[in-house]
Amino acid sequence: MRLRPDCLPCLYNQTLRLAKVAGCDEECSVEVLHEGAKFLAELPLDRTPPEAAAELYPMLSRIIGADDPYQEQKLRSIQKAKELLPWVEQKLKECEDPLKAALRAAVAGNVIDFATQVSFDLEEEVRKIFQARFAIDEMECFIQRLQKVKELVVIGDNAGEHLFDKLMIQVFRRNFPDLHIYYFVRGRPIINDVTLKEAKMVGMDEVCEVVDSGVDTPGFLMERANKRARRIYQEADLILAKGMGNFECMESYEDARLFFLFKVKCSVVAARTGCQIGDLLCANQQTLKEAR
C-alpha cells in the first residue's frame, strides 16, 4: 500500500509524539519537528508508510540520541498485557471454539500501537473482544487451512500485543501438535514493534521458533528480510500477518497463503479495506484484493 496524502500529517504527528516520548526539551523538540517536516516535504509517495517510517525514525532517533526511544513504552505495554492475561486465559478455557477465541485474543492485543491516528484502551478491547463482530470474518477459512498444513508463519507486530500472540500459538499447538510455528520479529527497534529482545522476554521461544526477520520497517517486506526469513516465508504452508503495518507492506503480495489479522486504526487503511476505523478483520489476501 503506497503512501497517501493523509499519511503525511500522520507521520508528522508521530514526529511530535516521538519528541514527547523521548522527553525532549524545547530545543530538541523544535529540531525534531523541523527535521521531520523537511523529510516529509521531500518524501516521495511511491513507497509504503512503513518504508517511510524506517527512514524517518532512525533519523529522529539520532537527533534525540536514543536507539530505542520507545523502550519504556514497550515495557509498560508488556506489563499491562501481563495483567490482563489471566482473564483472557480463563475466557479461552470457557469458549466452545478455542481456535476462534485464540484469534480473537490475538487481535485484541493489536490495539497497542503508538503510530496511528487513534488510540484504543487495551483493557476495554480485551473485555469485549469475545463478542465483537468482525467486519471481514474469515476465521473459519483460516482454521480449515490450519488443519491441513505443517508449517505456519506468524508475523508479529507490536510489543505487548505479542503476549496475546503467544496465547494464540499455545492454543494452536494444543490442537495441532505436529504443526511447526515460526514467529517473525523485526530486525531492529522501530517504534514499538516486537524484536527478538521482547519476544524472549515473555518466553515466546518456549512455544514456537522465533525468527529475527532482519526487517527494519514496521511491517514485513520480503526485500528487506534476511536470507533465512525469506526461505522460511517462501516454504511455509500458511502465513498470518498481524497488524496494520504488515498489511500496508504486504497487501499487494500475490499470495493465497496470506491472512491478515488486525484492527483498523487509520482512514487510509479503512478506505483500502472497505472497512471503518475501529473494525476488526481476519481476511485472506485474495479476498481483500477481489473486494477492491
Helix (H, G, I), strand (E, B) or coil at 222: helix
Closest CA to 167 of 145, 183, 151, 149: 183
Helix (H, G, I), strand (E, B) or coil at 274: coil
What residues does 185 pair with on adjacent strands?
A: 212
Are 218 and 193 in contact by the 8 Å Cβ rule? The answer is yes
What is the distance between the alpha carbons of residues 193 and 212, in angstroms, rounded to a whole number?
12
Closest CA to 186 of 252, 119, 242, 103: 242
Cβ-in-10-Å burial (0-12, 13-18, 19+) of 147 comes to exposed
Closest CA to 261 of 142, 91, 114, 112: 142
The 10s digit of each residue's pLDDT in 168-196 is 999 999 999 999 999 999 999 999 999 99
Cβ-in-10-Å burial (0-12, 13-18, 19+) of 126 comes to buried
pLDDT of residue 74: 93
pLDDT of residue 115: 53
Helix (H, G, I), strand (E, B) or coil at 239: strand
Pick the CATH number of 71-291 from 3.40.50.150, 1.20.210.10, 3.40.640.10, 3.40.50.10880: 3.40.50.10880
| Per-domain boundaries in the chain | 7-63, 71-291
Grid cell listed for 191: 517504534
The 10s digit of each residue's pLDDT in 131-157 is 889 999 999 999 999 999 999 999 999
Question: Kindly report the CA angle at 253 between 252 and 256, in degrees rounded to 5?
Answer: 125
Q: What percent of the chain has pLDDT over 70?
A: 97
pLDDT of residue 269: 94
Grid cell listed for 25: 526539551
**For residue 98, how many other CB atoms are within 10 A of its CB?**
16
Grid cell listed for 249: 507492506
Per-residue confidence of the chain (292 residues) as pLDDT tens digits? 899 999 999 999 999 999 998 899 999 999 999 999 999 999 999 999 999 999 999 999 999 999 999 999 999 999 988 988 998 899 899 988 999 999 999 998 887 765 555 556 778 888 888 888 999 999 999 999 999 999 999 999 999 999 999 999 999 999 999 999 999 999 999 999 999 999 999 999 999 999 999 999 999 999 999 999 999 999 999 999 999 999 999 999 999 999 999 999 999 999 999 999 999 999 999 888 776 6
Q: Grid coordinates 468482525 are at which residue?
A: 134
Assign 3-state DSSP to the chain and report helix, strand, coil percentages, each to 5: 55, 15, 35
Helix (H, G, I), strand (E, B) or coil at 143: helix
What is the distance between the alpha carbons of residues 191 and 28, in angstroms, rounded to a whole number?
19
Local structure of residue 221 (DSSP, 8 states): -
What is the distance between the alpha carbons of residues 280 and 292, in angstroms, rounded to a whole number?
18
Grid cell listed for 130: 469475545
Residue type, 72: E
pLDDT of residue 284: 96
Are 233 and 222 in contact by the 8 Å Cβ rule? The answer is yes
What is the distance between the alpha carbons of residues 167 and 236, in angstroms, rounded to a whole number?
21
pLDDT of residue 195: 98
**For residue 73, how many other CB atoms are within 10 A of its CB?**
16
